[in-house]
Structure 1
Amino acid sequence: MFRRRLTGVLAAGVATAALLAACGGGGDDAADGPVTLKVLTWEPGGTEYWQQVKSTFEASHQDIKLDLQSVPFDKYPEVQGPYITSQSGPDVMANNAGLELFDRRGAYTPLGDKAAEINKDLVTYSGACEEFDTSKPCYGVPFSYQGNVLYYNKDVLTAAGLDPENPPATWDEFGAACDAVKKAGKTCLALGLSGTFPAYWDFPEIARNYLTEDDIRGVLNGTLSWKDPKLVQVLEKLAEITTKGWANKNAPSITMLPDGADIFQRGDAAFAGTIISDAVNWEAFGKALGDDKLGVTRWPAINPSAPLAGKFSGIEGAVYGVTKWSEKKEAGLKFITWLAGKENGELWVKYAKGQPLNKNVDPALLPESPAFKKIQELIAEPTLHAGVMLSGPEADALARGWQQVTLGQLTVDKWADQMQQALERSPTKKQGN
């Protein structure tokens, strides 16, 4: 989907004025000297990229200084939560697109029609807007394209007697490959089950084999029960990954980032299901293993004839919004508007090696990596990302249930029961209302 275009400068000015008025005015924006804007982030793209963001933005906005508070991704909710509870702290904060953002929408200033102007040059699924609908309130601005692929180590496949140029394309082929890799003394799939990673990185790739886009929207609005056979089958296949021994034995006790990713980067695993942008993308793995040793493909298809089996689960990356309590809303709006622009899109490509959303980024800047080029082929046929349709309680229950199933403490049916209970606790879902 693409954002609507705002057709007049006057309309944009009215929208900005309305935004600032609704948020209590400019506050410290009117003070003498540069405004210091506090930004809470987990630094998607890495420290070097964010250093470039700070220096480049400040060079062209000498009335604003950025004070970046960086928090590790797995600790981010712990740090952000007290700010939201106390309604104080950063002027701009990040959250992942979708229900993670919507769960926290009370912390953000809705952008109104300004969202359409800011995002006019972005390719987007409206993941910053409630119900993925641009006619509903939007709470921030994304700038990166995100989604899931399966990376593989060509050397590990070769050592296991497999063809590194033809990775497994079906679930049965993947199981056979895992058996061969294990026999060769390596882990098949590097995996960490703590935190939200199972929801964002693994669940969508299994779900595409059983759900239609209407079903995925049913997950979003709570009308698809976790007792539905389709979702039970998704849980069964997730369970197979660990109960069949395809993953590292310590998967239940570690996070995917950094622990699971490190297993793959060390050359100790054949596969890693991660993302196309940010810290565990093709660029980081290429540096660790060598670009010529790194392959990338779709997750293997369980039901190759399923409508979404050959699609790419695509979504915006982190969304940056202005907090409701900020007294520097005008400066915050300037910053997030700049994040969506071409200049930052090119910084994202150059320093983060990520996939930009801005359509005006100079194609000459795009990397020459074989893995990056393969990703361009995979993302050409996108579908909705089922993972970001999960509420916070569901994402937590997915990870916890998978850990318990792996350890033999829970059956898949009981896992489905826990998922349904989590759905019913979800404040952002109406369960059909």
Structure 2
Amino acid sequence: MTSGISPIQLTLAASLLASAALFGASPASAEDVTLTVWDWKSGDPLAAPYFEQAKEAFEAAHPGVTIEYGMQPHDQYYTVLGTAITAKQGPDVVLLHGGARTKERADALVKLDDSIADIRDGLAGWGEFVGEDGGAYAIPISIQGFAIYYNKDLYEQAGLDPENPPRTWAELGESCEKITASGVACFVLGNKEGYAAEFFFSSIAANSWTQDEQDAWAAGELNWTDPPVKKILELWVESNEAGWYPPGANSTAMFMDEFEAFERGDGANVIGLISDVAHWKEFEDFLGADKVGVFRPVALEAMDGDLKLPVAGGIGYAVTNWSPNKELAIEFAKSLASQENLAEFFKTAGAIVPDKGFDVASVESPGAATILGWIGCCSASMAHNAIGTAELEDFHRQSQLLLNGDTTVDEAAAVLAKYRSAN
């Protein structure tokens, strides 16, 4: 007989009981303070040195203060956090994705504008961590984006020039024909959670939408039934019907099954991240730096000038508005974005950091150096960041139905259009 208590509830209960024991006592003195920090990354072996360095330095500078990391499962993180927000108990500091994940929780967070004047100009990526009022509610610790990584050996096997990847949709289609004829998938794909559709959507939008269209989409003025948006849904279906992906994409998890398939050589291309996971460092460490290429998402038509890389503020730390130690929590959140700590984050986890003073010249990885160069010259917004949570969940479902042939582009666009029409 089971207790009926879920793992999520147990995780939260343990955290809240610890908080109650601390917060329910008499106010903690400056010599006896524990800051509870929630995230989904501190237990990652590659990221752990960054978190440990930040903890040790802060505790050394603040005798009597203890930093306590509480890593939550990534797939349950926002459910657990939502329960804490409802109870107004739990962590002092929380890690958040940029975009809707931060904006929709701003009411539960401390507005940071008055506390970040000394670091604001030195960091990029603030735009993804603002609320409806335009105020900053989290401090960025990474820049995230989508790039297409490819296996140079598989390009050569297919008779392609590995030093000249495609720049247009037509060129990509021609490459995919040759790659699939050589016996491997053109792209590995894991859309079990619908994440692959997000990657595809923002990648295509980066070089197919004008700046006015990007701005209209972010403002909610461009809808799913409008031609620039519906076109991306059509290409999602077209690429699947052309056989670019292996069978069973909707049953394959993106993290980490899709990316492990790329590392095994099951497909020649993958739309990956640029920062701290499923990215240049992971692929270069596994396949060899000389075997991994990277290119920006293609344009629908031939274009003059540089292609754009979709980038945005990646993840950032916020302070909860129920924390009894807000000033100390803000100070720790700021320390996580210090030059010294961010340098460690890049070194060990391969995070593309928001530090504007980062020493790009010291970067040895060819992939990282290329990506950092693109960020400096040729970036576009990540369109999926402007999709609300409920809308994004429905987009995930519609993307799966489209891959299965269980709905049409017009039907899917009409379903999704209701979210924007209601705003």
- Scaled to the shorter chain, the TM-score interval is 0.7 to 0.9
CA distance in 2, matches of 1:260, 1:46: 21
Correspondent of 2:370 among 374, 385, 389: 374
CA distance in 2, matches of 1:248, 1:170: 22
CA deviations over 1:8-47 (Å, ceiling 9, x no partner): xxxxxxxxxxxxxxxxxxx987525342111111218633
The answer for the alignment partner of 1:299 in structure 2 is: 297
Question: Could you tell me how far 1:383 is from its partner in structure 2?
Answer: 2.2
Unaligned runs of 5+ in 2: 1-24
CA distance in 2, matches of 1:52, 1:137: 29
CA contact (8 A) 1:199 1:390 kept: no
Question: Could you tell me how far 1:119 is from its partner in structure 2?
Answer: 1.8
Q: Percent identity?
A: 34
Q: Are the structure 2 counterparts of residues 360 and 376 from structure 1 closer, same or farther at C-alpha, using a change threshold of 3 Å?
A: closer
Correspondent of 1:340 among 337, 343, 346: 337
Question: Could you tell me how far 1:72 is from its partner in structure 2?
Answer: 3.6
The answer for the alignment partner of 1:402 in structure 2 is: 399
Question: Could you tell me how far 1:80 is from its partner in structure 2?
Answer: 2.0
The answer for the alignment partner of 1:384 in structure 2 is: 381
CA deviations over 1:135-172 (Å, ceiling 9, x no partner): 72211100211111111111111111211111122111
CA distance in 2, matches of 1:387, 1:29: 43
Question: Could you tell me how far 1:424 is from its partner in structure 2?
Answer: 4.7
Question: Could you tell me how far 1:374 is from its partner in structure 2?
Answer: 1.5
Question: Could you tell me how far 1:59 is from its partner in structure 2?
Answer: 3.1
CA contact (8 A) 2:189 2:270 kept: yes
Report the AA paired with residue 142 of structure 1.
P
Structure 1 vs Structure 2 CA RMSD: 2.4
Q: Are the structure 2 counterparts of residues 60 and 28 from structure 1 closer, same or farther at C-alpha, using a change threshold of 3 Å?
A: farther
The answer for the alignment partner of 1:420 in structure 2 is: 417
Question: Could you tell me how far 1:400 is from its partner in structure 2?
Answer: 1.1
Q: Is 2:99 the partner of 1:98?
A: yes
What are the within-5 Å matches in structure 2 for residues 307-326 of structure 1? Answer: 310-326=307-323
Report the AA paired with residue 96 of structure 1.
H
The answer for the alignment partner of 1:251 in structure 2 is: 249
Size of the alignment, in residue pairs? Answer: 396
Question: What TM-score do the two structures reach when normalised by structure 2?
Answer: 0.87
Report the AA paired with residue 187 of structure 2.
L
CA deviations over 1:281-323 (Å, ceiling 9, x no partner): 110111111111011111222133399x811212111021001
CA deviations over 1:317-369 (Å, ceiling 9, x no partner): 102100112112122101111122212221122222221211233446x4301
CA distance in 2, matches of 1:35, 1:360: 33
Q: Are the structure 2 counterparts of residues 196 and 220 from structure 1 closer, same or farther at C-alpha, using a change threshold of 3 Å?
A: farther
Report the AA paired with residue 179 of structure 1.
E
Q: Are the structure 2 counterparts of residues 28 and 74 from structure 1 closer, same or farther at C-alpha, using a change threshold of 3 Å?
A: farther
The answer for the alignment partner of 1:19 in structure 2 is: none
Report the AA paired with residue 340 of structure 1.
A
Q: Are the structure 2 counterparts of residues 61 and 261 from structure 1 closer, same or farther at C-alpha, using a change threshold of 3 Å?
A: farther
Question: Could you tell me how far 1:392 is from its partner in structure 2?
Answer: 0.8
Q: Are the structure 2 counterparts of residues 78 and 286 from structure 1 closer, same or farther at C-alpha, using a change threshold of 3 Å?
A: same
CA contact (8 A) 1:194 1:400 kept: no
Question: Could you tell me how far 1:125 is from its partner in structure 2?
Answer: 5.0
Unaligned runs of 5+ in 1: 1-26, 426-430
What are the within-5 Å matches in structure 2 for residues 17-32 of structure 1? Answer: 30-32=28-30
CA distance in 1, matches of 2:248, 2:49: 32
Report the AA paired with residue 236 of structure 2.
L
CA distance in 1, matches of 2:405, 2:26: 56
CA distance in 2, matches of 1:215, 1:356: 28
CA contact (8 A) 2:191 2:252 kept: yes
Q: Is 2:275 the partner of 1:277?
A: yes
Q: Are the structure 2 counterparts of residues 205 and 362 from structure 1 closer, same or farther at C-alpha, using a change threshold of 3 Å?
A: closer
CA contact (8 A) 1:148 1:274 kept: yes
Q: SS state of the match for residue 129, structure 2?
A: coil
The answer for the alignment partner of 1:411 in structure 2 is: 408
The answer for the alignment partner of 2:113 in structure 1 is: 112
CA distance in 1, matches of 2:26, 2:181: 64
CA distance in 2, matches of 1:280, 1:29: 43
Question: Could you tell me how far 1:53 is from its partner in structure 2?
Answer: 3.0
